[in-house]
Amino acid sequence: MTDKLDNLETAAHPENLRRVAIDPVSRVEGHGKVTLLLDENDRVHQVRLHIVEFRGFEKFVQGRPYWEAPVMVQRLCGICPVSHHIAASKAMDMIVGATLTPTAEKVRRLMHYGQILQSHALHFFHLCAPDLMFGFDSDVAKRNIVGIAAAYPEIAKQGVLLRKFGQEVIRVTAGKRIHGTGSIPGGVNKNVSIEERDYLLKDIEQIVTWSRESVGIAKQLFEQNLDLYTNFGRFKSHTLNLVRADGALDLYHGGLRARGMNGDTLFDHYDYSHYWDVIFEDVKPWSYMKFPFLRSLGPEAGWYRVGPLSRVTQCDFIPTPLAETQRKAFMAFNGGSAAGATLGFHWARMIEMLHAAEVIRDLLHDPDMQGTDLVNIGERQERGVGVIEAPRGTLIHHYKVDEHDQIVRCNLIVSTTHNNQAMNEAIRQVARQYIDGRKMTEGLLNHIEVAIRAFDPCLSCATHALGKMPLEVELLDVDGARVDVLTRSSDGVFS
Amino acid sequence: MSDTFQLDGAAVPFEAGQTVMQAALAAGHYIPHLCYHPEFKPHGSCKLCTVKVNGRTAASCTMPAEAGLNVESDIEEMNSLRRTLVQMLFAEGNHFCPSCEKSGNCMLQALGYDLEVRTAGFRHMYPDRPLDASHPDILLDFNRCILCELCVRASSEVDGKNVFGLSGRGITKQLIVNAASGLLKDTDIALKDKAMQVCPVGVILPKRVGFSIPIGKRRYDQRPISAQALDDAPRQADASGSCDVCEGTP
């Protein structure tokens, strides 16, 4: 590796370099692009992941009544709105001085783990399985969920039904599959009735079984492609995640744990209501997405990784038996090599999906779910911080509310934002490994996207553009031949 | 035996002094409306209840019932005009149903669904209307006001307080608060006031209620506004003068 490949964030002399853009990055939530600057010998000089959307929820929530926030801010996203719904609710719990009743916390947990289940299933089966099952540079025409359904119908069906079940859990607890209203400041607005519980219980054992098989698929991919899966886009980074007081994996609540790239603990069980003392955000001129860093290490060295890989590798244990068994196997695999691999995200994600299925099963059997004590309000506060582990990683919501109950300030640090520098590092590694000095092909460029997809980024959510997702609609005849096509570009122009 | 008029081909009985709207609702026939409320003098401003009477258009809430009238309401010509009116109301204010706590309990939204308003139809005007959150227990979100004057009438005629009024003309007409400061905190409005119960949209809201009614339990979740006419016609008062429909769904 040459010296110039040590840092691909900024090219020393960008003039006269050839620019290659992956625009848009496909099979991710939201809209982003990757640019590579290459010289005449196809040597890579700069690689950047750009997030070209701008949302602005932090601004237009200002002036709104605080009880509106959990419903309004979840419109950031259609994939994991529950994450924002609950993070904002937790912040508003602080605003209203609430201590949640057992029923309220458990109904919220059920909603959240339903969200984890559906989002992880969507990501693994719909968005990433085409790369993983067919190969990164396989026929692009088949490298999609329809291709998976044709080649592996049983796996595709399981993916669809796993997601459906998670969505049903959300519907039961939040009122709607997408953008419900179940979580409110100080609690929830409904419990889970006996009928609703039994409706979900009739399928839960199948869901647990399919989730366990999904972990097996992820593991098998590593076993069959050990060198590729272990080394693809591999890099070392610090980590950040919530853990329960006893060190267990907990995706709903806990203290912040940060570990250095060599496993040293930087802080542990840190009260997230003062997150700004340990985390700060840097800004770069070429992206709408901020770059958070650990204050103690500074903006250059303090970037870190969040999400399933951090959570599963940094927790002390997973408090459900099937997922814990799988965690141990993951950590021990090939001397621990999967635990530091970028593609290890997928395996860890499936372990979390199994954990979510087990948690859902346990909660459904809990009589507190039918409790009627739903809201508990205490002494009003001015500031509220809510943090959860969303499907993609740590999610921070922070609000200040005035004496008239209006939000005057809002800061959101979402999972994908935490992973910003880590994703850039991953694609730079891939550029070094696969692109540098070679003739560019679609398959090679897809390697970059495979690295980004491992993080399950939600790019729209991370930047806080309204409705500019590029879209292509094809009209096919019965033989699959294209009859017509309509394309909408990222600037909204149809052709 | 009372006299009758024809409404969409059905004979509707009426008492002397009743309007077409009053007689229709009493007989279980729904005519879309927003500013009409059985406890208050007809206002005739929203025009949603416009019907054809012997071939000419008239607001059914102000049109006196007469024997032998031929009233046409549920016909495409009238419903098309109603859709346009609803679209204009949506375009004039800032009606963001996805994050509005009145969703599911809002008459404007319910009418939009019932009349099958599928598009905005007009360019949104996005008016700048700051909230009045000054009162400790009551929030005013002027963004959603449709100028029906129900709160003005309730505060004046029932509460005896004159908390609300309309100011300005034409497109600049707006709901105002009767206080030197212009703020609700400087009025004598109270949570139990009739003015708190009659807003058909999400302007006058008790604070900290928000989304406490789950989806599925809200007023218009189960049945469309039109289907509720027969057994609990919106804003139909019972014999004692109280309005069960309004209570609990402010």
CB contacts, 8 Å: A71 with chain B: 98-99, 101, 211
Are A179 and B98 inside 8 Å of each other by CB?
Answer: yes
A107-138 per-position pLDDT tens digit? 999 999 999 999 999 999 988 888 899 988 88
Q: What is the distance in angstroms between the CA of the first residue and the CA of the last residue of chain A? A: 43
CA A265, CA A267: separation in Å to the nearest integer? 6
The pLDDT tens digits of the residues spanning A152-209 come to: 999 999 999 999 999 999 999 999 999 999 999 999 999 999 999 999 999 999 999 9
Q: Which of A390, A365, A158, A357 lies closest to A252, judged by CA?
A: A390
User: Is the backbone peptide bond immediately before A24 cis, with ω within 30 degrees of 0?
Assistant: yes
Residue A138 CA, chain-centre distance (Å), reads 25
- Asked whether the beta carbons of residue B208 and residue A375 sit closer than 8 angstroms, the reply is no
Binary contact (A406, B208; C-beta < 8 A): no
| Eight-state DSSP code of residue B250 | -
Q: Which amino acid is at B238?
A: D
Q: Identify residues of B whose CB sits under 8 angstroms from chain A CBs.
A: 98-99, 101, 130-131, 133-134, 139, 207-217
d(CA A150, CA A152): 6
Q: Which of A74, A189, A193 to mutate to test the interface with B (most CBs of B within 10 A)?
A: A189
Secondary structure element (H or E) that encloses residue A59, with its range: helix A57-60
Using CA atoms, how far apart are residues B29 and B230, in angstroms rounded to an integer? 7
Q: How far, in Å, CA of A413 to CA of A387, rounded?
A: 10
**Biggest CA-to-CA distance, chain A:** 70
- Asked if A351 contacts A323 with a C-beta cutoff of 8 angstroms, the reply is yes
Instruction: Write the DSSP symbol of residue B233.
Output: -
CB A223: neighbour CB atoms within 10 A?
11
Residue whose pair of structure tokens reads 């059920």 in the numeric block: A110
**Count of A-B CB contacts under 8 Å:** 59
Which amino acid is it at A398?
A: H
pTM comes to 0.89
The chain B residue lying nearest A61, using CA atoms, is B99
The partner residue sitting opposite A67, judged by closest CB among B210, B213, B214, is B210
Q: Cβ separation of A67 and B134 shorter than 8 Å?
A: no
Tell me if B163 sits within 8 A of B155, measured CB to CB: yes
Q: What is the mean pLDDT of residues A90-114?
A: 98
Q: What are the phi and psi torsion angles at A169 (to 5°)?
A: -60, -40
Q: Give chain B's residues under pLDDT 50.
A: 232, 234-243, 245-250
* B98 vs A contacts (CB less than 8 Å): 71-72, 75, 179
* Distance (Å, whole) CA A71 – CA A436: 46
- pLDDT tens-digit map of A281-311: 888 777 778 889 999 999 989 999 999 999 9
Question: Torsions phi, psi of A482, nearest 5?
Answer: -75, 125
Tokens of A152: 């592996």
Chain B residue numbers touching A65 (CB-CB < 8 A):
131, 133, 139, 207, 210
Question: What CA–CA distances, in Å, run from A163 to A133, A137, A357, B106?
Answer: 19, 27, 11, 32
Tokens of B235: 């804003």
Angle at A260 (CA atoms; ends A259, A262), nearest 5 degrees: 115
- Indicate the pLDDT class of residue A480, thresholds 50, 70 and 90: low
By C-alpha distance, which of B156, B128, B37 is closest to B165? B156
Report CB contact under 8 Å: B98, A75.
yes
Considering only the beta carbons, identify the residue of A72, A189, A406 that sits closest to B133: A406
- Which chain B residue is nearest to residue A192, measuring alpha carbons? B214
Chain A residues near residue B131 by CB distance under 8 angstroms: 63-65, 406
Rounded to an integer, the average pLDDT of A256-272 is 96
pLDDT in tens, A208-245: 999 999 999 999 999 999 999 999 999 999 999 999 99
Task: Tell me the chain B residues in contact with residue A190 when contact means C-beta distances shorter than 8 Å.
Answer: 214, 217
Does A59 score more than 50 pLDDT?
A: yes
From A65, A180, A190, residue closest to B133, measured CB to CB: A65
B214 closest CB neighbour out of A70, A71, A175: A175
Mean pLDDT score across all residues of chain A: 88
Place of tokens 């021990």: A332
CB contact under 8 A, B99 and A176: no
